[in-house]
Amino acid sequence: MGYYAMQIFSKNRAKKVLDEGAAELSESEINYALSNRERIINKVLKNASLAPYISQVKTLFSLLQDYVKGDYREIPWWSLGSVVTALLYILLPLDAVPDIIPIAGFLDDAVVLKLCLDMVSKDLEKYKLSKVAGADESGHLDKTRD
């Protein structure tokens, strides 16, 4: 991420963004994030500061989809809110450091995403384990397992 990125957009400021977004989370925001999945993924893929996180971003979308379908609900609302906030933050062109500013414009997006991933890492690991443990041959979660 680099020292310069942290100077532009501090970790404390990123945490404030995530905390405020998580506190205001609604079902409609979850659905909005899901409806913009391709736009967010494309933005991640096209930017050097975000591209290393593509696998994690796809996992976040999988988690949101399973949450909405009711296939996975073992995540705290705050963690879910942080995930949605981080994904929607990537989508915003005019955030703390506007994306039109070369290089620096996407560094704040990366700081927010990385902090979110760090903050919800245990919840993501539980989700991934549940996918492995509860998946049947078709790849759907087996709702009969405990």
CA-CA distances (angstroms) from residue 6 to 16, 25, 46, 75, 120?
A: 14, 26, 21, 29, 20
Helix axes 27-35, 54-69, angle to 10 degrees: 130
On whether the pTM is more than 0.85, the answer is: no
The CA distance from 20 to 18, in Å, is 6
75-105 pLDDT, tens digit each: 999 999 999 999 999 887 654 444 445 555 5
The CA distance from 142 to 139, in Å, is 9
